[in-house]
Amino acid sequence: MTDRNMAKAARLKQRYAAEARFKLYGKLAIAAALSAVFFLLYTIFTAGYSAFWRTQIQSEVTLDANFLKVTPQSSNEELARANYLGLFRKNVVENNPDIKSRSERRDLIQMFSESAETDLRDLVLSDPSLLGTTQKLWFLASSPVDTIVKGAAPRDIEEERRVVSNLQLRLLDQWTAEGRVGSTFNINFFTRGDSRNPELAGLAGALAGSFWALLVCFVISFPMGIAAAIYLEEFAPKNRITEIIEVNINNLAAVPSIIFGLLGLAVILNFFGVPRSTPLAGGIVLSLMTLPTIIIACRAALKAVPPSIRQGALAMGASPMQVVLHHVLPLALPGTLTGTIIGLAQALGETAPLLMIGMFAFVVDIPTSPLESAAALPVQVYLWAESSERGFVELTAAAIMVILVFLVLMNLLAVIFRKKFERRW
Amino acid sequence: MFRKTIATLATGLAALMLTGLAHARDQIQIVGSSTVYPFATVVAEKHGQRGSMKTPVIESTGTGGGMKLFCAGLGPSHPDFTNASRAIKGSEKELCAKNGVSEIIEIIVGNDGIAFANNSKSQKLNFTPGQLWMAMAENGPKPKTWNEIDASLPNAPIKILAPPPTSGTRDAWDSLIMGPGCKEAGMVSGKECDGFREDGAVEEAGENDTLIVNRLSADPEAFGIFGFSFLDQNRDKIQGSTINGIEISLDTIQSYDYPIARPLFFYAKKAHIGVIPGMQEYMEEFVSDAAIGDYGYLLDRGLVPLETSTQEKVRNDIRNLTPISM
């Protein structure tokens, strides 16, 4: 072999090696990204899956009509006002006659959630004929007991460092042996608003808050975004001014979201007087953020419609407006919707602007309109992560799981829209 | 059809905006300190369960931020209460008066202690304010390890997670530890006592106390500064150091024997009482025997109660609605 051929072969070998290395770097980058995602999902899942069930304790309760000072014939209002908390505590104390001192009785009562009161009230209201009978009922355990049962807090340490007392631990073991400790699906998590008791806290308020805020955001930004995109793409003259507008729309998409929050505080709350902490204010601020995303997506979709469609319609005598509304826009709609959904998914995960307009709040009542105070999903995660009670750790992770599910669903919807309706020419 | 949809949406939105503007509030709005927030939220929840009234909405804005919102004016677009982990300042009173908020009612709800805590597996230590000042101050000797300050302290690097300047906890730490510690350590006069060193030994860890607790349980050499309720809820992970030999506990905070104790407040707008429904009831609930009495539910959350005689006085104040002097 000649020298030239040998040099050629060496160079070739080098180029192949470089290519192999390049592929390897790519694979490593993907592996790093994937392992980060799996690590995230793993930590969230292991911390959060236990939030979907709750420990409950069976207890016998005599629905003593004399103690409640009602009869089965009493009106619903009288039945609702009776002292069910007192009745429950009396029953629990009487069921454990060996516990005498005041502080021990307090420990005993605190093994149960406060929801026992409303549970009993609802039971009597639904069937007043139960008054006077003795029922075996399941009651939610309080959060400290729940964390011990789930192993989220250690049990084999000194009493003063443990979340439950020695007495509570002894009773728990005794009841477990008697088969009176069970677990149930945590329905509260999906039906109730926020609470300072981890066993009663739910995500429904934040879900409703996010829903209303996104609805307001969609109602504002979707029509406005499409109108702006159509004008800029189809009608606006191409000159210096439209160029400046275009550049600024792109800039707007990159503005940090906290700035929109400050703008919302100054203009929407203080100038227009929209009520603080409401999804209406939140939705307006979020729409400022989604607007540029929608405009850019819609313009790209309009651009992708081939000129032959426009020219064909014009040739058939359609006015420019008819061309756009009857022919171009329907063809551009799938792409626009995809952009809109991705914009809304971003808005769903946004917290910073909501901080400024007061949606970082403890809200118990579930909002039924955009004008009632509400929190939002990511805000709820932050509020729970800040709480000192141990039971909120698993709730925080569970709420993150719910957000991730919604984000995946929305992105999936966007992909389906694109795959199903997008036309290629 | 498309045009029709847009028209409907736009009309709907306009209607929504108009009703928003004409909105009269029937829900109490509360802002203020993140230290009082865990207690105020529990009271709000009870208040909501009790009657037919809506549950108050509570934002945790920090004491200073809360005062700013509270003093911005009267009317439904401004909050009714603000929580505070220190008394209202003169400048804040002026701001209030300027915006027409001339009658403010001050209510003390309890006390709070600030813990200087480390990992419960590490050695439990005792500090004096002077030692803490030397360890933390920008104008101090800036030692690397604890035993450079005092031979009784361990040979371990100084690592402290401290609250940021915006928090009320920091205000209290500055006035109760940095100030007296500065004198105790014999600081030359004329130099600033406050201000943490910036060489990495003291780290401002943000407002998230849960995060500090997690850092402490992972790092046996670090110390953290936060409210008593977080120590109380995490006793399996962390322990409070003694200050001047005094243990942090409900009793020592209540008697102010523990050196880093401070009162907690909330402030009410007198002009809103009777206009926004439920304000009187909320105030009464907060200082009721069921909340802050001997077996009150706020005590379970780590609130350090007032002395019984003070409690009676506070309940009287609420009945009489006596405003503070401006």
Per the structure, how many domains does chain A have?
A: 3
Find where tokens 């390890």 sit.
B145
A390:B54 CB<8 A: no
Within-domain flag for B15: no
CB-based contact (8 Å) between A106 and chain B? yes
pLDDT at A340 over 60: yes
Helix, strand, coil share of chain A (percent; to 5): 70, 5, 25
Find the helix or strand (DSSP H, E) in which B115 lies. Answer: strand B104-119
Q: Is there a single domain that holds both residue B173 and residue B248? A: yes
Q: Is there a single domain that holds both residue A128 and residue A213? A: no
For residue A11, count other CB atoms closer than 10 A to its CB: 10
* pLDDT (0 to 100) of residue A99: 85
pLDDT at A404 over 90: yes
Q: How does pLDDT run across A111-146, given as a tens digit for each residue?
A: 999 888 888 988 988 888 888 889 899 999 999 999
Domain limit, last residue, from B235, B261, B287: B261
Q: Is there a single domain that holds both residue A182 and residue A227? A: no
Domain limit, last residue, from B261, B286, B302: B261
Within-domain flag for A308: yes
Two tokens at B109?
Answer: 């709800």
Within-domain flag for B18: no
Within-domain flag for B10: no
Q: Is there a single domain that holds both residue A130 and residue A218? A: no
Find the helix or strand (DSSP H, E) in which B224 lies. Answer: strand B223-227
Two tokens at A314?
Answer: 């014009």
B2:A329 CB<8 A: yes
Closest Cβ opposite residue A154 in set B48, B236, B300:
B236
Instruction: In whole angstroms, give the CA distance from residue A79 to residue A121.
Output: 8
Model-wide pTM > 0.90: no
Q: Which residues of B are less than 8 Å from A372 in CB distance?
A: 27
Q: Mean pLDDT of successive 10-residue segments in chain B (326 residues)?
A: 59 57 77 90 88 86 89 90 90 92 92 91 91 89 89 91 81 87 74 83 80 88 89 87 92 90 93 91 90 83 86 89 85
Q: Is there a single domain that holds both residue A306 and residue A274? A: yes
Name the residue with higher pLDDT: A103 or A233: A233
Mutation choice for B interface testing from A121, A373, A380, A395 by most B CBs within 10 A? A373
Q: Summarize the confidence of residues A158-162 as an average pLDDT.
A: 82
Q: Which burial class, exposed, middle or buried, applies to B219 when counting CB atoms under 10 A from its CB (0-12, 13-18, 19+)?
A: middle
Q: Is there a single domain that holds both residue B155 and residue B51? A: no
Within-domain flag for A194: no
Give the list of residues 6+ apart from residue B208 with CB closer than 8 angstroms, or none: A385, A386
Q: Is there a single domain that holds both residue B222 and residue B123? A: yes
Q: Is there a single domain that holds both residue B208 and residue B301? A: no
Q: Is there a single domain that holds both residue B120 and residue B232? A: yes
* pLDDT (0 to 100) of residue B17: 56
Closest Cβ opposite residue B236 in set A162, A360, A364:
A162
Q: Is there a single domain that holds both residue B190 and residue B136? A: yes
Within-domain flag for A248: yes
Q: Is there a single domain that holds both residue B131 and residue B219? A: yes
Domain boundaries, position A37 = 3-49
CA pseudo-torsion sign B45, B47, B51, B57: negative
Within-domain flag for B3: no
B209:A325 CB<8 A: no
- Residue B126 backbone dihedrals phi, psi, to 5 degrees: -120, 140
Domain limit, last residue, from A49, A70, A86: A49
Within-domain flag for A197: no
Domain boundaries, position B267 = 26-111+262-320
For residue A315, count other CB atoms closer than 10 A to its CB: 9
pLDDT at A1 over 60: no
CATH of the domain at A235: 1.10.3720.10
Q: Summarize the confidence of residues A343-360 as an average pLDDT.
A: 90
Within-domain flag for B7: no
Closest Cβ opposite residue B23 in set A219, A371, A389:
A371
Q: Provide the 3-class DSSP secondary structure of residue A416.
A: helix
CATH of the domain at B267: 3.40.190.10
Within-domain flag for B2: no
pLDDT at A185 over 90: yes
Within-domain flag for A198: no
Find where tokens 């005794």 sit.
A174
Secondary structure in 3-state letters for A248-268: HHHHHHCCCHHHHHHHHHHHH
Instruction: In whole angstroms, give the CA distance from residue A188 to residue A204.
Output: 9
Within-domain flag for B96: yes
Q: Is there a single domain that holds both residue A178 and residue A56? A: yes
Q: Is there a single domain that holds both residue A249 and residue A223? A: yes
Q: Is there a single domain that holds both residue B209 and residue B117? A: yes
Q: Which residues of B are less than 8 Å from A387 in CB distance?
A: 38, 210
* pLDDT (0 to 100) of residue B3: 58
Would you tell me the crossing angle of helices A392-421 and A329-348 to the nearest 10 degrees? 170
Secondary structure in 3-state letters for B288-303: CHHHHCCCCHHHHCCC
Closest Cβ opposite residue A325 in set B2, B41, B59:
B2
Domain limit, last residue, from B261, B276, B295: B261
Instruction: In whole angstroms, give the CA distance from residue B81 to residue B40.
Output: 10
* pLDDT (0 to 100) of residue B237: 87
Per the structure, how many domains does chain B have?
A: 2
Q: Is there a single domain that holds both residue B127 and residue B266? A: no
Instruction: In whole angstroms, give the CA distance from residue A206 to residue A362.
Output: 10
* pLDDT (0 to 100) of residue A328: 93
Look at residues A123, A9, A17 and name the one whose alpha carbon lies nearest to residue A68: A123
Within-domain flag for A42: yes
Nearest residue in chain A measured CA to CA from B28:
A373
Q: Is there a single domain that holds both residue A169 and residue A267? A: no
- As a whole number of Å, the end-to-end CA separation of chain A is 54
Within-domain flag for A193: no
Interface of A with B in 270-289 (CB under 8 A): 272-278, 280
Q: Is there a single domain that holds both residue B140 and residue B229? A: yes
Instruction: In whole angstroms, give the CA distance from residue B86 to residue B96.
Output: 17
Give the number of A-B residue pairs with CB atoms closer than 8 Å: 113
Beta partners for residue B262, in sequence order: B112
pLDDT at A186 over 70: yes
Q: Is there a single domain that holds both residue B62 and residue B172? A: no
pLDDT at A297 over 90: yes
Could you give the count of Cα atoms lying within 13 Å of A19 in the half-sphere of its Cβ? 6
One-letter amino acid of A244: I
Interface of A with B in 352-381 (CB under 8 A): 358, 360-365, 370-373
Min CA distance, A79 vs chain B (Å)? 15
Closest Cβ opposite residue B45 in set A110, A161, A364:
A364
Instruction: In whole angstroms, give the CA distance from residue A140 to residue A146.
Output: 9
Percent of chain A with pLDDT strictly greater than 90: 59
Interface of A with B in 140-169 (CB under 8 A): 153-154, 157, 160-163
Q: Is there a single domain that holds both residue B177 and residue B217? A: yes
B20:A154 CB<8 A: no
B236:A161 CB<8 A: yes
> How is the beta sheet containing A53-62 ordered, strand by strand?
A134-140, A53-62, A181-185
What's chain A's average pLDDT? 90
Q: Is there a single domain that holds both residue A58 and residue A19? A: no
* pLDDT (0 to 100) of residue B10: 60
Within-domain flag for A380: yes
CA pseudo-torsion sign A116, A121, A124, A130: positive
Q: Is there a single domain that holds both residue A145 and residue A34? A: no
Within-domain flag for B80: yes
* pLDDT (0 to 100) of residue B271: 92
Two tokens at B97?
Answer: 């008066």
CA angle B126, B131, B132 (to 5 degrees): 85
Q: Is there a single domain that holds both residue A42 and residue A79? A: no
* pLDDT (0 to 100) of residue B128: 92
* pLDDT (0 to 100) of residue A35: 97
* pLDDT (0 to 100) of residue A397: 94
CA distances from A421 to A218, A327, A336, A340, B225 (A): 21, 15, 11, 15, 57
* pLDDT (0 to 100) of residue B304: 87
Q: Are strands B160-162 and B223-227 parallel, antiparallel or unpaired?
A: parallel
Closest Cβ opposite residue B45 in set A153, A154, A195:
A195
Q: Provide the 3-class DSSP secondary structure of residue A99.
A: coil
Beta partners for residue B127, in sequence order: B243
Q: Is there a single domain that holds both residue A123 and residue A21? A: no
Q: Are the CB atoms for B167 and B179 separated by under 8 Å?
A: no
Q: What is the CA radius of gyration of chain A?
A: 31
Q: Is there a single domain that holds both residue A296 and residue A172? A: no
